[in-house]
Amino acid sequence: MLQTEQAKQNGVNVSVITSTGGPTKGHVQNSQLANCCQLTMDEVGLFRLKLAILAILCVILGTFLMAFKVQYFFIVETCADLKEQYATAASQNKALKANMSETVRMLADQKNKNDNLTKEITNLKTELQGVRRCADKWEYYDGSFYYFSSDKKNWTDSRDACVTMGGHLVIIKSTAERDFLKNKRQQYWIGLSQPQPGDSWYWVDNTPLTGPKFWHPNQPDNHNNKEDCGMVWWSGQWNDDLCSVTLKRICETKSCIG
């Protein structure tokens, strides 16, 4: 078997091969070294690939964690806002309940006031029931109508004339009413008389004179035992006089027919 020897000629390496055409020992060693290096480069590439994938996964995980963290803080912030809104709503609800209670109380008070007003209106309607518009000569004062005549009659005819008009000779029950009547500055018959000479004085509705008495000083004096009818002077004070004397009259009624 022929062998090829490596020689150096002019700085050039010459490989000597055997006659069988197989590689030499040095060639085999170089081939093994090349194969070893080739395997090492593949492993390095795979390792680098793994590192790249791991880096990408880390970036994805980091991004996910960051998004989760942002979402978490957003949820925490939202929960805090919701708690604050709930507290505000609870406070407002409490205030509304208090306002509602106060409103209910005010409505109850107003209802009581309305009920009282309704009663007052009903009472006024009852008092004014049957009252109709009077003729121009009738004057209204404190729940009654008054007619001041311009013609003159004796006491009996004056009494009958008032009855014909739907009223009666005036019955004076208070100082205020006396003051209202005296503003006319006239002398008028009033509904006061004594049925029997020397007897007690009575109003035309047969009630005795027990209330306010506005007699003029030294009156009634029943002069000559004939002054049995009552009249009012311009001053508002009373006097007894002859029933046959002709004077103007004051008629009174609660429901005049004019």
Q: Give the tens place of pLDDT for each residue, 3-18.
A: 444 444 444 443 444 4
Cβ-contact 156, 194 below 8 angstroms = no
Distance of CA 64 to the CA centre of its chain: 57
Smallest Cα–Cα separation from 225: which of 205, 198, 252?
Answer: 198
Label residue 67 by pLDDT band (50, 70, 90). confident
Task: Looking at 136-223, list the stretches that DSSP marks H as alpha helix, in order from N- to C-terminal side.
Answer: 155-164, 175-182
Does 104 have pLDDT greater than 60?
Answer: yes
Give the start-to-end residue ranges of the domains of the chain: 12-126, 138-253
Label residue 149 by pLDDT band (50, 70, 90). very high
Question: What pLDDT, on the 0 to 100 scale, is given for residue 66?
Answer: 86
Cβ-contact 207, 215 below 8 angstroms = no
Burial of 65 (0-12, 13-18, 19+ CB in 10 A): exposed
Q: Measure the CA–CA gap between 129 and 122, rounded to whole angstroms.
A: 10
Does 125 have pLDDT greater than 70?
Answer: no
Q: Could you tell me where the beta strands, DSSP code E, fall in the chain? A: 4-9, 12-16, 138-141, 144-148, 168-169, 188-193, 202-203, 229-232, 238-241, 248-253
| Both structure tokens of 43 | 């492993």
Pseudo-torsion of CA 152, 156, 161, 164, nearest 10°?
180
Question: What pLDDT, on the 0 to 100 scale, is given for residue 23?
Answer: 53
Higher-pLDDT residue of 161, 138:
161
Percent of the chain with pLDDT over 90: 26
Q: Measure the CA–CA gap between 143 and 178, rounded to whole angstroms.
A: 15
Question: What pLDDT, on the 0 to 100 scale, is given for residue 224?
Answer: 78
CB atoms within 10 A of CB 90: 10
Does 258 have pLDDT greater than 70?
Answer: no
Q: Report, as an integer, the average pLDDT of 20-27.
A: 52
Cβ-contact 191, 167 below 8 angstroms = no
Q: Measure the CA–CA gap between 27 and 35, rounded to whole angstroms.
A: 12
Question: What pLDDT, on the 0 to 100 scale, is given for residue 39?
Answer: 52
Question: What pLDDT, on the 0 to 100 scale, is given for residue 29?
Answer: 57
Cβ-contact 14, 7 below 8 angstroms = yes
Smallest Cα–Cα separation from 244: which of 223, 228, 225?
Answer: 228
User: Average pLDDT, whole number, for the chain?
Assistant: 80
Does 133 have pLDDT greater than 60?
Answer: no
CATH label, 138-253, candidates 3.30.9.10, 3.40.50.1000, 3.10.100.10, 3.50.50.60? 3.10.100.10
Label residue 183 by pLDDT band (50, 70, 90). confident
Element (H, E) at 140: strand 138-141
Strands 248-253 and 188-193: parallel
- Lowest mean pLDDT, pick from 110-124, 131-145, 153-167: 131-145
Label residue 71 by pLDDT band (50, 70, 90). confident
Does 134 have pLDDT greater than 80?
Answer: no
Which residues share a beta bridge with 230? 240
Does 62 have pLDDT greater than 80?
Answer: yes
Question: What pLDDT, on the 0 to 100 scale, is given for residue 11?
Answer: 46
